[in-house]
Amino acid sequence: MRISTGITLLDKRLGGGLPAGSMVCVYANPVSMPEAFLYQFSSVGIAYYVTTSRLPKFIIEDMKSLEIEVDHLEFIDVFSRYYISDSGGFIIEDQYRDRDVFDFIDSELSEIDTKNPVIIFDNLSFFLNLNVPIGLKEWLINKIYITSKNLDGISYCYMIKGSQPKQIENMVINLSDVVFDIDSEKAGDRVVNRLGIPKMRKMKPIDETFRYYISHGIQIDTSRDIA
C-alpha cells in the first residue's frame, strides 16, 4: 500500500506515494522553508502534528495562508507542555521538564490507534538536543519507527541540518526508511530550492533532484525536473 505525500507531481514520480509503514527523515536546511512540506504531508488522511517550536494556532494560520485544509489535523502540543506553565507564563527553569516531555510524547504516540495515520514531527531536532541520556533519544527514534510500522502509517521527522550531534543524526538517517534532503542553492542572482530523495527502502532510490517553489503549498517545477 502507498500513502500519498499530498504533492500530486511527487506522488506521480513515486508511483502513488510512499510505502505504508515508513519512517521518513525530512533532513532540511531551515532556509528552504521545509515546514511547507510538513504542511503538505499533513494534508492527507488523518494527521497528527507534533509541534515543538510554535503554538498550534500559528501553524494553522500558516497552513490556511497556503490554502491547506486543517480540519482533519490533531495537534500534539509539545511546545505548550515544555514552555508554558499552568498559569500561562513561560517556564524559566525546570530540571524535570526534559525527561517529562519524553513521557508526554510516549503517552501521546501510544494512544494513536488510527489506521494509516500521518504523523508529523516538527521538529525532531528539539528532542535530540534535550539534556537527557542518549539512550532516551534512541528509544524515541525507535518508538517512532515501530509506531509507523504497527499502524501502517507514515511518520515524517523534520531534522534540522547541523543542529544536533552527528552521532544521533546518523542514527536517525540510518533507521529511516526514506530520506528527503531539502536545501537551497544560489544560482546567479536567484535562490533555488531543491528536493532530493537519496534513500528509499522497498523502492528504487531516485538519482535526480527536484526544484520546487512555494505557492498554495509545495509546487514541483515541471519544466525541467519531471516530464
Q: What's the confidence (pLDDT) of residue 223?
A: 65
- Amino acid, single-letter form, for residue 85: S
Q: How many Å apart are CA 104 and CA 81, to the nearest integer?
A: 8
Q: What's the confidence (pLDDT) of residue 40?
A: 95
Give the closest residue to 165 by CA, choosing from 136, 129, 130: 129
For every residue of the chain, which 3-state class applies, written as one string? CEECCCCHHHHHHCCCCEECCEEEEEEECHHHCCHHHHHHHCCCCCEEEEECCCCHHHHHHHHHHCCCCCCCEEEEEHHHHHHECCCCCECCCCCCHHHHHHHHHHHHHHCCCCCCCEEEEECHHHHHCCCCCHHHHHHHHHHHHHHHHHHCCEEEEEEECCCCCHHHHHHHHHHCCEEEEEEEEEECCEEEEEEEEEEECCCCCCCCEEEEEECCCEEECCCCCCC
8: cell is 500530486
Q: What's the confidence (pLDDT) of residue 204?
A: 81
Q: Which residue has the cell 517545477?
A: 221
List residues bridging with 192 in a β-sheet.
185
User: Would you write out the chain's pLDDT as a tens digit for each of its 227 residues?
Assistant: 999 999 999 999 999 999 999 999 999 999 999 999 999 999 998 999 999 999 999 999 999 999 998 888 999 999 999 998 877 777 766 778 999 999 999 999 999 999 999 999 999 999 999 999 999 999 999 999 999 999 999 999 999 999 999 999 999 999 999 999 999 987 777 889 999 999 999 888 788 899 998 988 899 886 654 44
> What's the pTM?
0.93
Q: What's the confidence (pLDDT) of residue 56?
A: 96
Set out the domains of the chain in order of their start, with CATH numbers: 2-220 (3.40.50.300)
Q: What's the confidence (pLDDT) of residue 227?
A: 41
> How far is C-alpha 70 from the chain's CA centre?
16
